Amino acid sequence: MRQMKKNDLNIGIIGLGYVGLPLASKMSELYNTIGFDINSKRVLQLKKGLDINFELRKENLIQRNLSFTDNISNLKKCNIYIIAVPTPILKSKLPNLKMLKHACKLVGSLLNINDIVIFESTVYPGTTEEICIPILEKVSKIDCKSDLITNKKSFGCGYSPERVNPGDTKREISDIVKITSGNDKKTSKIVDKLYKSIIKAGTFNVKSIKIAEAAKIIENTQRDINIALINEFAMILNKININTNDVLNAAKTKWNFLDFHPGLVGGHCIGVDPYYLAYKAKVLGVKPKLVLSGRTVNDEMSKYCALRFKDGLLQKSIKVKNARIIIFGFTFKENCKDIRNTGVLKLVSELKNLGIKPEVFDPIADLDNKKIYNNVTFIKKLNLNYYDGAILAVKHHYFLKNFKINKIKSYLKSKNFIFDLKNFFSSKIVDDQL
Amino acid sequence: MRQMKKNDLNIGIIGLGYVGLPLASKMSELYNTIGFDINSKRVLQLKKGLDINFELRKENLIQRNLSFTDNISNLKKCNIYIIAVPTPILKSKLPNLKMLKHACKLVGSLLNINDIVIFESTVYPGTTEEICIPILEKVSKIDCKSDLITNKKSFGCGYSPERVNPGDTKREISDIVKITSGNDKKTSKIVDKLYKSIIKAGTFNVKSIKIAEAAKIIENTQRDINIALINEFAMILNKININTNDVLNAAKTKWNFLDFHPGLVGGHCIGVDPYYLAYKAKVLGVKPKLVLSGRTVNDEMSKYCALRFKDGLLQKSIKVKNARIIIFGFTFKENCKDIRNTGVLKLVSELKNLGIKPEVFDPIADLDNKKIYNNVTFIKKLNLNYYDGAILAVKHHYFLKNFKINKIKSYLKSKNFIFDLKNFFSSKIVDDQL
């Protein structure tokens, strides 16, 4: 669709997770939209109006112009494809572009002249032009670049990074400015116009796809580094025997101090994206010192917390070996069901390495697919006077509302150690805080 | 003065630089104040109403309750001493506490029972209690800690970190919240009351001296790291052939992106303070990975800029050896006269290492004391059609107002290379931008 007429637009969205699903719902307010996901179970749930991420309600899913499918051939009629698949990392911390490449192959097989393919997945700068477009061209046998001399027909390609904030119910997709870009001016303009039509907060059109890719990856890297820095402060301040929060509260009284907090860093964005940037930097011969230092610090936090908890037990003369402890919270982020890439998983295994026996309590977490986490003992009901200690790991509103300190203490033996990673309580009523 | 009655207070301020002088002037609005500096020339100028840092005007200096001296015995009458001397680093990057220790000895020699000594100099947490107080106690033969049982008399000690922003004429000392602390509750209360009386923005009293020390050092470290991160981005983005500023402008459209810019980092605070924190961390057995990575990146920026400038010359087929170039700006910060610890000095020497012949133009800089910088050629008048290139290094308002791009180009040969480190101009009209 190199000219954009509203009724002619058929939008196909590839990937129906945190990014694709709200986008599909929003797009369908104005355009015919079909959402595709390879996960048939997810598609079935969505057809029934159920989003297990709780990002969208039934009325957002059951709409006249919106349909869902796990059959890619149902997207044949589409002329705008938006790819919003996950871009995780491999065990080696290198970019895992498998899903992105697969999505390109699927879309390439459907692509027609003048169609536009837009990418929303977070990638290192250059991915769209160096990896995605070549796959689309190869599979579709159509070029992306127009040739004005031969008047050879082409498809268009855009990049508009997702800025979804899982668990943030205040900022919906339409409230967040969207960066737009395209492989040529004409495509860029159409991509921009498309998003402008659905984003209340407006768009920010940039000169090239690479700029749009870079803007997204530096946003998340900046956040990762800033949390890592506070984590490093927390490690130093603990050795000085002062409470991190006391120091942060004082520093915050300066107008330009940045309000970050220590903690475990997990999830699909800030714990992952810096590795994409680092990968590209290394390929180009730039050593990403700071970017990787930040990752190292944050990756080591689970181990650090486990060791500090062990020290706490010892200080209170609680036997470490076989100590039974309860961890409050398992998801990668507060008020969010998602447990993928959670830092708590690593915390559990680090505690186990020390001979401690942790159990996890998280009524918010989506534990449906437990098998990946089969080394973790999840419990639904807490026993009284049972545990040697507690780690308060994820600050769900649910915990703050339902678990006051005395209730938490009721599950613990009289001699216990409480390590509060996320400032659930005042430092006076817990044994240690990060 | 462990009880604070306004007319009984005699305040002595040790060190009359960016921190001590505005503080002395402000204190003298309410209290008898005497400022001491070992630099007799500076004291003479101040007596005449001249602050060569241009932070204060004559009317702020010539005041009824304010006097200046280079003779420490003139402070004998004081009962509150505020120490605001520089805390730089040694060549080895370790803390240089020489001036701080010397100030402690001077004050110790004057100290009486019930006097209070307040430190404003930036230090690592623990410095005041582990180093300064012992010197004060030894020289004065008075203890700092009161003994309630023996009723032994003591002096008090406080710490209230300076938050002066050189060159910032909008935020005066009274506009910036001041953290206060003391070695015991009574002293802490008096220190807080004293600052509260002169700081319009208010104070923030913390539980211990160490918390106050830590709050200050993490503020500046956070700033250093954030600039370092943008510098690292700039290095990566340059290799991707995209303009850093284009990317930052796009990223900034996200509500929580932090608006920092690439550049040389110099001066007495953010280029220095992280080494204090790193020192203490190492002593305590914590490896300050991130803190030191940030320092490494920022310390290497001068060399990086020199090499990138060389590449620029080569790309335009301009001979590097003996290339004559002009650098706009020499001070450590824009709109500030101070050249101490400026990153431009290192840039000059890195350019020279490459065989380039840089000259420096900075009408704002305080070049009175040129001998330290005798390897740098400063010029006052620029020759037309003379230079092979220019580096725009420090973004003084003066330059923006008086040196449009065509004027700058008039000093350059027709084949030239302009490297704009600080976004003086749009990327279209210069050859390269950081």
Q: Indicate if the pLDDT at residue B128 is higher than 80.
A: yes
Amino acid sitting at position B251: A
Confidence label for B249 from pLDDT (cuts 50, 70 and 90): very high
- What is the pLDDT averaged over residues A305-330? 96
From the list A94, A87, A90, A42, the residue with the least C-alpha distance to A68 is A42
- Please tell me which residue in B78, B144, B269, B305 is annotated as part of the active site: B269
Q: Indicate if the pLDDT at residue B380 is higher than 80.
A: yes
pLDDT value at residue A416: 96
In the block, tokens 């600052």 appear at B195
Q: Which residue ranges form the domains of chain B, and what is each CATH number?
A: 6-207 (3.40.50.720), 227-433 (3.40.50.720)
- What is the pLDDT averaged over residues B305-312? 97
CB contact under 8 A, B242 and A285: no
Residue A225 Cα distances to A25, A89, A417, angstroms = 33, 18, 30
For residues A191 and A182, give the distance between their C-alpha atoms in angstroms, rounded to a whole number: 7
Over residues B69-78, the pLDDT tens digits come to 999 999 999 9
pLDDT value at residue A370: 62
* Chain A neighbors of B248, CB-CB under 8 A: 215, 218
pLDDT value at residue B340: 84
pLDDT value at residue B171: 85
Q: Are residues B173 and B22 in contact, defined by beta-carbon separation less than 8 angstroms?
A: yes
Task: DSSP letter for B143, please.
Answer: B
**Number of residues that this document lists for chain A:** 434
CB contact under 8 A, B247 and A177: no
For residues A304 and A297, give the distance between their C-alpha atoms in angstroms, rounded to a whole number: 10
Radius of gyration of chain B (CA): 24
Over residues A334-366, the pLDDT tens digits come to 998 888 889 999 999 999 999 999 999 999 988
Q: Indicate if the pLDDT at residue A101 is higher than 80.
A: yes
Q: What is the ipTM of this complex?
A: 0.93
pLDDT value at residue B26: 94
Over residues B333-349, the pLDDT tens digits come to 999 888 888 999 999 99
Q: Indicate if the pLDDT at residue A258 is higher than 90.
A: yes
Nearest to A284 among B171, B239, B293 (CB): B239
Over residues A150-207, the pLDDT tens digits come to 667 899 999 999 998 877 778 889 999 999 999 999 999 999 999 999 999 999 999 9
Q: Indicate if the pLDDT at residue B148 is higher than 70.
A: no
Mean pLDDT of chain B: 92
CB contact under 8 A, B251 and A206: no
Top pLDDT among A37 and B56 is at A37
pLDDT value at residue B371: 45
For residues B140 and B81, give the distance between their C-alpha atoms in angstroms, rounded to a whole number: 14
Q: Indicate if the pLDDT at residue B2 is higher than 60.
A: no
Identify whether A269 is a catalytic site residue.
yes
Cα B60 to its chain centre, rounded Å, is 22
The structure tokens listed for A402 are 């339902």
pLDDT value at residue A371: 45
**Number of residues that this document lists for chain B:** 434
Percent of chain A with pLDDT over 70: 96
pLDDT value at residue B246: 96
Over residues A47-87, the pLDDT tens digits come to 998 887 767 788 888 888 999 999 999 999 999 999 999 99
Over residues A213-257, the pLDDT tens digits come to 999 999 999 999 999 999 999 999 999 999 999 999 999 999 999
3-state secondary structure of B122: coil
CB contact under 8 A, B250 and A212: yes
Over residues A297-314, the pLDDT tens digits come to 999 999 999 999 999 999
Residue A279 Cα distances to A283, A300, B197, B379, angstroms = 6, 20, 54, 45
For residues B345 and A156, give the distance between their C-alpha atoms in angstroms, rounded to a whole number: 49
φ, ψ for residue B339, nearest 5 deg: -110, 0
pLDDT value at residue A374: 58
Nearest to B222 among A126, A246, A257 (CB): A257
- Helix, strand, coil shares, percent, chain A, to 5: 40, 15, 45
For residues A269 and A254, give the distance between their C-alpha atoms in angstroms, rounded to a whole number: 29
Top pLDDT among A269 and A211 is at A211
* Chain A neighbors of B171, CB-CB under 8 A: 255
Over residues A379-425, the pLDDT tens digits come to 988 999 999 999 999 999 999 999 999 999 999 999 999 999 999 99
Nearest to A225 among B125, B216, B225 (CB): B225
The structure tokens listed for B132 are 């300064």
A149 Cα to chain B: minimum distance (Å): 27
Q: Indicate if the pLDDT at residue B46 is higher than 60.
A: yes
Top pLDDT among B168 and A185 is at A185
From the list B76, B110, B80, B104, the residue with the least C-alpha distance to B1 is B80
Q: Indicate if the pLDDT at residue A4 is higher than 90.
A: no
Q: Indicate if the pLDDT at residue B272 is higher than 90.
A: yes
pLDDT value at residue A62: 82
| Residue B371 CB coordination number (10 Å) | 5
pLDDT value at residue B369: 55
Q: Indicate if the pLDDT at residue B276 is higher than 90.
A: yes
Q: Which of A95-104, B84-93, B367-376 is predicted least confidently?
A: B367-376
